[in-house]
């Protein structure tokens, strides 16, 4: 996302079925946008990434994984693994509903 009318993206996150994942874990995307708009005190613009990761990083001054001192992927995978994704919660709820009494 970026400030409305600005070029620079300052907050990157991923979405799945209305849910957003960022440094705070999984949250409904409308809530993420509302909270960030409130914090910034001005309108924000959701930016869909339509190019490759390399093009995005170059355009928005972000580092590629190979530009970090150590490989960031194990740390990133560990962090993502701390949060139960919405689809896992749905599957768990379905299992609980159909479990025999």
pLDDT tens digits for range 3-24? 999 988 889 899 999 999 999 9
Mean pLDDT of 25-33: 95
User: Does 54 score more than 90 pLDDT?
Assistant: no
Domain count, the chain: 1
CA nearest 72: which of 53, 100, 99? 53
CB-count burial class (<10 Å; 0-12, 13-18, 19+) for 32? buried
pLDDT digits (tens, 9 = 90+) for 60-93: 888 888 888 888 889 989 999 999 888 887 655 5
Angle, CA 23 vertex, CA 17 and CA 26 arms, to 5°: 30
pLDDT of residue 89: 72
Start-to-end CA distance of the chain, whole Å, equals: 46
pLDDT of residue 39: 96
In the chain, the largest separation of any two C-alpha atoms, in whole Å, equals: 56
pLDDT of residue 57: 85
Q: Which carries the bigger pLDDT value, residue 38 or residue 63?
A: 38
Q: Which domain holds residue 35?
A: 2-98
User: Residue 56: pLDDT band by 50, 70, 90 thresholds?
Assistant: confident
């Amino acid at each position: 996302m970026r400030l409305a009318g600005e070029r620079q993206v300052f907050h990157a996150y991923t979405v799945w079925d209305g849910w957003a994942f960022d440094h705070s874990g999984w949250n409904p995307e409308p809530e993420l946008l509302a909270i960030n708009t409130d914090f910034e005190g001005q309108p924000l613009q959701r930016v869909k990434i339509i190019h490759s990761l390399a093009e995005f990083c170059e355009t928005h001054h972000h580092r590629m994984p190979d530009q970090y001192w150590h490989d960031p992927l194990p740390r990133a995978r560990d962090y993502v693994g701390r949060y139960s994704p919405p689809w896992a919660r749905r599957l768990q709820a379905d299992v609980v509903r159909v479990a025999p009494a």
